[in-house]
Structure 1
């Protein structure tokens, strides 16, 4: 039948009319709910201009939002760098020929991947405070970075391990036939290809790390959400403050996602032909140089 697919048959005229009516009814309900919410907010004085005026003054940004934004970016960037390093070590460790290394790496991944990020932050905060590992003014920052690193590093380890295991077995066999050690095979052949293949998942995890930095609010870390709440407490405009904070976070995540898309496209469209010693890698096949 024309318009049919493998998964389902194309709807007939009666089904199309029914689907259209359902879509229209759902749209009307959404509009009605949005109007009701806006009217309720207006009646409570939440949409007046004076509630939004603080955000067009430089003092609000320099006193509250910009320091919080810097705290968010600082914690996210540092934790992402550490998580990539930790994830690479644990991911490679799970593929080690040594059983004790596989068990240790696997146990670490499963433990920290199962614990909520907020619990990791709180545990790290009190652990660092108890043993005076960091100065008091850096405790919250260190705890946020530690929690994000442990959780995201464990997830990245699984992403890398899955990426390496998804590569054709012939890659390893060809490298072995050329006399390459396992460390060389991993570093020169498997890791570059697996990172390229799993780049979208890696970038998604970085976006999660950026958003999860807001959990530092619970241990007193100054990030953009906490700064927005402090601003709202001072000016008495909680709804506009939350809206502004949400817009800032959306812009941050959209910027990171856009950067990731550009990097991924350049990596995939880059050189498809690279040389490793006397080995040429072309179109995912390893052939001897002539």
Structure 2
């Protein structure tokens, strides 16, 4: 496994490795790798001749009051995980390597980028899209892998690839849960044991909705109302069925239930992709 830290070295390394018509899979991460990240990397290894992982805590997607300085950075552990999974190249740049002074940035869509996460964290998706585009231009992947847990992020990256005519296949991978059904997140380490137990009400609410859908219930307002009853003891920032353009919808088919709760002042994302339930033959 090669670990490179400069853009020049990355480009020259990949040019050498891609001799011939080899496919390249790319998994961008902010490190603190968990089983969710591992699922993306494993799929990248399975699908492609070359597998690249970036580890970079991107400052432009954090708001001034957020936890940039406290964000976990277990670099040695992350590198061991990448090596054990057979990653070919890890890109480990500095902030100065990725951002020039007075750097040009991508603007998120005026609607999709400023609802839900974008409303609560204005400018967040400008930073996300800017760094992802920078990585895409350096790596030039055949396939790029992102988790479905960050649904709004995934939908906008898909839109960016389409709008900017990028020849990249974006692969959305299923959300991965821990043994207690809490969705894997790098921020889960901040939760106390009691907080973690409290947070499980969110996955429980989503599973309840999934069961009702399997039993033929299609009324979105009813599904939402019943689920919210189990979230009385946590702060709910949003809990909505949306379409792929992030408009709130009353149409169940092909919708996505996106949700964020706050426990011990930690924001926890989770969701339910209704299309996945349908495609797996689990409902109506």
- Same-fold status (TM-score > 0.5): no
Higher normalized helix content (fraction of residues) = 1
**TM class, shorter-length:** under 0.3
What is the TM-score when the length of structure 1 is the normalising length?
0.22
Instruction: Identify, as 1 or 2, the structure richer in strand.
Output: 2
- Which structure has the bigger radius of gyration? 1
